Structure formats: structure tokens, C-alpha cells
Amino acid sequence: MSTPENKYTPASIEPKWQDAWDKARVYEVSNELAELKKKPKFYVLDMFPYPSGAGLHIGHPEGYTATDVVSRLKRMQGFNVLHPMGWDAFGLPAERAAVREGIHPAIITKRNVDNFRRQLKRIGFAYDWSREVDTTDPGYYRWTQWIFLQLYERGLAYMAEVPVNWCPAQATVLANEEVKDGKYVETGDPVERRMMKQWMLKIPVYAERLLADLDGLDWPDHVKEMQRNWIGKSEGAEVSFALEGSTQSLVVFTTRPDTLFGCTYCVLAPEHPLVATLTTPAQKAAVDAYVTTAKNKSDLARSEAKEKTGVFTGGFAVNPATGKKVPVWVADYVLITYGTGAIMAVPGHDERDHEFAKAFGLPIVEVVKGGDDVQQAAFVGEGTAVNSGLLDGLGTAAAKEKMIRWLEEQQRGVRRVQYRLRDWLFSRQRYWGEPFPIVHLDGGGIATIPVSQLPVQLPHVDEFKPTADGQPPLQRATDWLMVELPDGRKGVREVNTMPQWAGSCWYYLRFIDPKNTQAAWGAELEKYWMPVDLYVGGVEHAVLHLLYARFWHKVLFDCGLVSTKEPFQKLFNQGMILAYSFKNDAGKYFGPAEVDDRDDGAFAKATGEKLSKQIEKMSKSRFNVVSPDDVIAAHGADALRLYELFMGPLEQVKPWQTAGVAGVQRFLERVWRLVVDEETGALSKRLTDEPESADPALQKALHKTIQKVQDDSAGLRFNTAISQMMTFVNDATSAKTVSKDVLRGFLRVLSPYAPHLAEELWQRLGGQGFVCAQSWPSFDPKLVAEDSVTYAVQVLGKLRAEVVVPIAATEAEVRAAAEANDKVQAALAGKQVKKFIFVPKRLVNFVVG
């Protein structure tokens, strides 16, 4: 009888080793430069989580396990590894919970952080917890405020009355990046446009560098592409149109200056300041009505409008190329927020202008030859300029150049690069965020809080909601509001707070030197650790977080505060984990416990009704959420870790299959039985004290495993690394005896993946110290190399036989061996060999006629 105590029981060994690692502080890395400089560094970072009330879901540990394996491997390979964890803890959900429960968000945040930390520790991650950071800690946001002051002093932060995205449901403004199709991307609440005085950051100043420096980064191509699209660089020209009856001129931006001769009208955005100037008395009523309607339309309604609308202002501009008068219209398909808020319309060669011209009967002129009839559809491709005076006969690229030069000579225009990227709206009407270190002086003007007085701490307020007259919650802190600066000037504090992105823009720098009270980080430590060597997180941050963080980093670089141009050298996105869900025809979802999932389909247990089974995003409403706590309780943390990585390639979206966890758990049990005799609890009787070399076959299997796990882990191909370990364990299980030496080697290989089990078995096998603190085993290239090789023998591309020959066999020797084979002879009988293909170490192919 095997007793339960002698079986593999993760529930008892995992907490034991987690405590032991904690006490021995094995994962802490020195903060002493002299000590650090003895070894090379590796900085491996996870995107730190927002500690939500729901706790960890199964998606978090996927990326975290990947970085954990890499961090453990690198440590064993002799690197100083920086592998920290922290909390991106400012944000809306805690504030909403605070309003709901009437508890301070700091208390809710602490509760959630404690839960997250507990869950992460249960998984056995090798984080250096002495470096934990929390963006809501005044000792942290003190430096967030300090960085804001750097931006302010460089003229990159300013306050302005701007059209903003106002979200009534959340009672706050949002950044452009947070709004899509007129809705807040997080909640789907509608967003409307309002004019408000807000803080803005001049990220477009860095547009060119943010674009150019992408080239040197080891990032997924699609993430680089998304950033490029977001920055949206367009090259072209600004063209000035003289206005009839006015000394002012109308400036438009175009990427197609070569089509200027085809401009038959101009269009202003409804918000454009020249609308009032240009509108004639006869058109005033119609224009006013149109502009009012457009202003009241939400962004969503404006972007969803199918048909082009607009009104003639009655005014005219002069096309600088043709000298002809063209009418100026106002239409909401032109955006005030891009370019100059006005366009030259070329209906022959722009689809939108074509649609508008058709709708309002405006003339269409062909100025680029190469497409079909421009009266029917716009031709937007490249071609040859026609009807274009000095440009006639030129190709599109040459025509653009010539027109820009001509405009510049005539002083009617200039070459211009335009970016889609706009100033970053950087304030929110919230309580739970970093206060700005800013004072609005009584006499007018803005002053900054001196660095020595930071942090500006969040004051206590009795309610976290906006005030009755719509002011941000900080307006309630009446005592806090009034401030006198050291030089005697008085004023009121800024009551907006920073958006959640602020804290995550620089946390990777704080991890370098988290306890420093004199500076945000030590300069020498920064030089040692930066850049981040591997950054893993979800693709949802491809634009927002990663663009904002790069922007701040470049500002800090210009301030001489960091030594690298870019913060994250290598980026990797893990794929989302989905799960099976079950629902009936009416769309009602069923939890796994209510479903009988058989080979012939899924059925509701209660009613027997047939259910559809699909793979979807995990969500409470679909009853398909998998909790890491439950998986650990049922299978152990090592099995969770292993399955997270064994499911498939890290970058891939893939469904969670509960049965798969049992599979990797079985693998871990087999490893256990290699070492432990389950009958007695003593060491397995098959173990020997002989050296590795006593069993050449298993020794070879071990060395191959070391090599493959090493290469695959470094390349983030964890799934194939794990299958190699499984193959080794299968080999070892069927061997009559196994050398302890071989097993100790294997446990070192296993330990980054299943650290608890490896630690327990290492100790039982008499290993010294912690297995996670051992050096990574080296493999012997001679052992990994095969001494014989199996060639596939094809005749006319069809497999006919296999021959085994010495590794060094020459082409002639392999051919002779192949021809000696019965089946090959049969296939070749009576045929002429026209050609013989030889692929070293793989196959040969007889091409017969």
C-alpha cells in the first residue's frame, strides 16, 4: 500500500519551499554597485497589474511564468537578475468601490494588493519582493510629481481651454487614446465633446523620435506598426489660398500638392475660425444652423454619418495654381483637430471629396492620368500629371516635389510634415490619482510646488464624488486647497489629478532603486540596469502605455536623467487565454458543473437540451472563468506554471483546457516517482550512485535535454522545452536503473519551470543548497552529437526505406547503403536513375526516368 504521505503532494511541499526561499532571500539582488558589477545584468520585467477586487485571473500568470522561467534560468547562468513586481494601483475601479462602499480607496487598494501578492506568492515566482513598488504610495508618487515638473519646466506641459472627450458616466475627461468610436474603450460609455481647461503634454514634439527609434527595438512587428499608425506621419505641404474680399488667407494641409490644379473648392471644419469671416449675409442663417447642429452632434454620430453634409459659406478663395476662384464650404467631414482644420478639395483624386462633390454638384477635374473616368470615381493612385500647367507629364512623386518648390518660391506654401499624434490630455476629474504639484496664484498665473516640498499628498475628503457643481472631488478638501508658497505667494491648488498612465510611465526606473529617498533613482544604478532586457505583457498596451512610457523616457533622456534612448529593448506580447463556454439556443450560458460535455456534444444536465460549445474570452457572465487559486488547490502551483507554458506558443491566443492541467500534473508525478519510492517514502530502489557516464543512453538524453531547454527557454519557446523534459522523463522511467547524478542534472533543468518539486527532490537526493541557486548545467557537445544518422530513402519523392549509417558517411557511402536495401532495389528495379539527391544528415532521393 502506498500511503498518501509518500505521494507527490504539492499542497505540502510548495508552501514549505516558498517559506524557505523567503527566509533565505534567494531572489533578492544587491543594491550595491560594487557588488553588482561583478556579474553581467539581466532586467526582466512584467507589466505590473492593476490590483482589481476580482483577484488574479488565469491570464496574469501566463506572462509572469514566462518571465519567471527566464529570470531563474539567467540567474543560474550567472547573471544578476532584476525581476521585480509592483502595483499600478491608482485608477477608477478603486474609486468607484470607495464611493459604493464608503471606504477610502487606499484601504480598498491595500486589500486588493494584499490579495494579489498572496496569489502571486502561491505560484512561487522568483520576484525580489524587497523592491515592490506601489504607484499610490506617497514615497512613489512624490517622484511622479517630480517628473511632471521636469516636463513642465521644459515647456512640455501646459494648461489650455481645449475640446476634450468628456465621459458623463465616469464624470471625467479622457485622452484621445482612451476613446474609440465615440466611446470610452474601458467601459463603452458614450463620450461627448466639451471645451474645458485641462493639462496637456506635448507628445508630438517627440513624434519623429518616437517613430525613428522604433527601428532599433526588438519588438513584435505589429506593435511597431500600431505605434507608427498612431503617430501617423504624413508628408506634404501647407498651401495658402488668398481669400476674396479679405486680407487673411486660408491655409490647408495636403499630402497631394501635385493635385492642386484639380482643387475645385475648399472646405472648413465647422469649428474653423474663418467660418464666421467668410460667411456671406445671404448664407449666414444656413451656415449658423449647420455649425450648431455639427457642434451638438456627438463624435459617435459624426463618425457614423454615412452621407456627406455641408453648406456653402458664400465666400470664395483663389486657387494659387490656377488663379481661379473656388467656393469655400463648411462640412463636418473635415476635422478641426487634424492639420489646419481646412482642406483643398480635389474630387477627381480623393474619394471623400468626390463623394461630397457628387452630392452638391461641384466640378470634378482630372489632373492625374492613370485611372478610369474621374467623373465616376476618384482615382487616388499615382500617375501622370495632366491639366496641371507646369506639372504636366510628370509622375506623381516628381510633381509633388516640383509643386512644393514652386509654392515655396511663390511664397504660397511650405513643405510640411504632419502627425496624427496630438497633445496628450493629462488631467482627470478624479480623486484617486496623483495630485499635480501646481498652484494657481491669487493674482493669476501658475506656480510649481518646490521639489523639496514634494510629495503633494492626497488630502482627506468626505466624499469621493465630484461636487454638486461638477468640480473634481479634490475641491472638497477646503483646508488643503489654500496654499502659501515658501516665498509668500498664495493661491489654490490644482484640483485635477493625473491619469492612471502617469505611474506606469516610469515604474521600471523605480524598481532599479526603490528605496531611494534622495532621488527617483541612483544614476549609476540606472546605468547598470537599463535598458529592460525583456518586457512581457498584453498587446492591449501596444499603443497607450508603451507610447507614453517611451515619451517620458525620451524626456528624461534629454534631461540627462537616464542613459538610454529607449526603455524596453525587447518586448513580447503573450496571447490571451480563452476558455470554452456553453450556451443554449436562447443564449443562456451554463457553467461547467451544469454541463455534460461528451464526444457527441454538450448537453445541459438538468434538461438534457443540446448546448453549443465555443471558445470565448473568460467572463463571469459566461461562467467560464478559471481561477489560479482553484487550479493550485486541485493540481498545485508547479502544474499551473507548467500548463500555462505547455498550452502552446506564448504569443498565441489559446483556450484553457482543464484536462490539460491534469496531464502536466501526471508528468510531475512521474518525476516524483523517479526519485521517491511511493511504497516506503525512501529513495527509489532504481537509483544508483554511479556517475552519469555509467548509462550512456540516459546521459545522452540528459545532455540533449539541457541543450534544448536552454535554447528554447531563451527563445521563449517554453512549450517545446517542456515536451523535451517529458521525453527525458519517459526515457528515465523506462530505464532499469537511473544514476542520481543524471537526476540531479535534470532537476537543475526542471527547476526554473517547476521550482517547488525540483527543490524537494534536490534535497532528497542530497543536493547541496537550493537547486534554484545552482549553476545551470552545461551540456557536452560531443554527447549531444549523434554518432549515427538515419537517412530517409526516397524514390521519386516517395519514402521507400530508411538506412542507418555512421554520422560521417559520405554521399557515396550513403548511396551504397541505400542501394543495398531490398525495398529500394525493388523500387528501382528496371528503372534508370537520372539523378541522385543527397541532403546531408536527412535524406536521399533517387530520381528515376
Partner RNA sequence: GCACGAGUGGCGAAACUGGCAGACGCAGCGGACUUAAAAUCCGCAGGCCCUUCAGCGGGCCGUACGGGUUCGAUUCCCGUCUCGUGCACCA
CB count within 10 Å of CB 790 equals 13
246 versus 733: smaller Cβ distance to RNA: 733
Question: Which residues lie below 8 Å from residue 781, measured CB to CB, with a gap of 6+?
Answer: none
Q: Whose Cβ is closer to RNA: residue 558's or residue 678's? A: 678
In the numeric block, which cell numbers belong to residue 1?
500500500
Locus of grid cell 532599479: 512
**Paired sense of beta strands 157-167 and 133-134, if any:** unpaired
Exposed/middle/buried for residue 470 (C-beta within 10 Å: 0-12, 13-18, 19+): exposed
Question: Which of 421, 549 has the CB closer to RNA?
Answer: 421
Least distance in angstroms from the C-beta of 467 to RNA? 33
- Name the one residue in this structure whose C-alpha cell is 501596444: 542
Which DSSP letter does residue 262 get? G
Q: Which three cell numbers stand for residue 736?
A: 532499469
Query: In the chain, count of helices (H) and strands (E)?
Result: 28, 37
Residue 709 pairs in a beta bridge with: none
Please identify, using beta-carbon distances, which residue of 303 and 607 lies nearer to RNA: 303
Q: Shortest distance, CB of residue 247 to RNA, whole angstroms?
A: 24
Instruction: Give me the torsion for CA of 6, 11, 14, 18, rounded to 10°.
Output: -140
Peptide linkage before 531 cis (omega within 30 of 0) = yes
Q: What cell numbers appear for 141 in the block? A: 508618487
Q: How far is the CB of 95 from RNA (least distance, A)?
A: 25
Q: How far is CA 448 from the centre of its chain?
A: 34
**Closest separation in Å from C-beta 45 to RNA:** 22
- Looking at the Cβ atoms of 146 and 419, the one nearer to RNA is 419
CB of 304 vs RNA, minimal distance in Å: 8
* Residue closer to RNA, measured from CB, 100 or 180: 180
Residue 497 or 713 having the CB closest to RNA: 713
Whether residue 777 is preceded by a cis peptide bond, meaning omega within 30 degrees of 0, is: no
How near is the Cβ of 232 to RNA at its closest, in Å? 5
**C-alpha to C-alpha distance for 584 and 588, rounded to whole angstroms:** 6
Dist. CA 62–CA 30, nearest whole Å: 27
Contacts of 444 (CB under 8 A, 6+ apart): none
**Nearer CB in complex with RNA: 263/534:** 263
Q: How far is the CB of 460 from RNA (least distance, A)?
A: 38
Please, what is the minimum distance in Å from the beta carbon of residue 336 to RNA? 7
**Smallest separation (angstroms) from RNA to the CB of 589:** 18
Angle, CA of 306, 309 and 313, to the nearest 5°? 165
Write the CB contacts of 535 (distance below 8 Å, at least 6 apart in sequence).
45, 47, 508, 568, 570, 571, 572
Residue ranges in 569-679 assigned as alpha helix (H): 628-635, 637-646, 658-675
Is residue 440 within 8 Å of 494, Cβ to Cβ? Answer: yes
Task: Give whichever of 38 and 798 is closer to RNA, judged by the CB atom.
Answer: 798
Which of residues 343 and 509 has its CB atom nearest to RNA in the complex? 343
Q: Least CB distance from residue 620 to RNA, whole Å?
A: 19
CB of 701 vs RNA, minimal distance in Å: 12
Cell 492541467 sits at which residue?
Answer: 661
Q: How far is CA 326 from CA 321, 330, 687, in A?
A: 12, 13, 93
Nearer to RNA, 198 or 794 (CB): 794
